[in-house]
Amino acid sequence: MSICYLNGKFLDLKEAKISPLDRGFLFGDAIYEVIASYNNKPFKIEDHLDRLFINLKDIKISINYSRQEVKNILESVIEKNDLSNQIIYLQISRGHEDIRDHIPGPSPSPTIFVCSFPLKNIPNAQMTAIKASLKKDFRWRKSNIKSTSLLANVMYKIQASEENFFEIILQENGYITEGAVSNVFCVKNNEVKTPSLENNILPGITRSVIIDIVNKIGIKITESKISVEDFMNSDEIWITNTTKGILLVSEIDEVQVSNSDNVYSKVLKKFIEETLV
């Protein structure tokens, strides 16, 4: 049994229902957050709430819930599901209306949904390096908003599965943006680089954690444009996201990435420590 929250009620996930006229279903007019919970403690919940309320403002959705009330709901879902390690999914749509129209009405009531899934990938020192592929970025121009309009990302992940890659890394006009479902880092001569937030990328929570860790351990890190050529000549390449943590990339399009993992190993160790706090 999995307990979810939907519009004021906690109930079995199998009993949760929304209107087919919900704007999240019809238009992808919704945003979401994915939060890891380790040992029943939500990881970086305040950072997730920061991004959530920024995104709500960005797409002009108003909810009658305070920040603390949303936090209480998330923590209640964690408590009601008997899992030490969970992935919490939160989605807020603009709500449903009686008539399908691209222009929302003056006062739709947002749909607020929270559910829980087992967290299968606990960060550990023996995490296997992954294979990736480099593709052109054809997504929309507001990747900073964590929108549920994820068709492009779904298409990339289907392609990755069909071609036996774990992730698709995206490039635009010769510069790296991010992964289909991840942020990207690379290392050259013991200096870490990651695309800046000006490069149409998601301000990932795990991305922010990794940047903080790299700074703490005294390694130089730069947020800037990264050319495909420089990226492919890196000593190390990593991807990061909430569900996987931080993963080393072993090859891109069957081209071996340098075997160095000196910086990655140090960062991974500190990241594991942070998830245990």
What tokens were used for 152? 């492009």
**Per-residue DSSP letters for 41-106?**
EETTHHHHHHHHHHHHHHTT---S--HHHHHHHHHHHHHHS--SSEEEEEEEE--B-SS--SS--S
- Determine how many CB atoms are found less than 10 A away from the CB of residue 183: 24
Taking the C-alpha atoms of residue 246 and residue 210, their distance in angstroms, rounded to an integer, is 8
Pair type for strands 86-93 and 41-42: unpaired
34 contacts 87 by C-beta, under 8 angstroms: yes
What tokens were used for 255? 């081209």
For this structure, is 44 an active site residue? no
Given the residues 44, 120, 146, 157, the one annotated as active site: 146
Taking the C-alpha atoms of residue 50 and residue 261, their distance in angstroms, rounded to an integer, is 32
Residues annotated as catalytic are 146
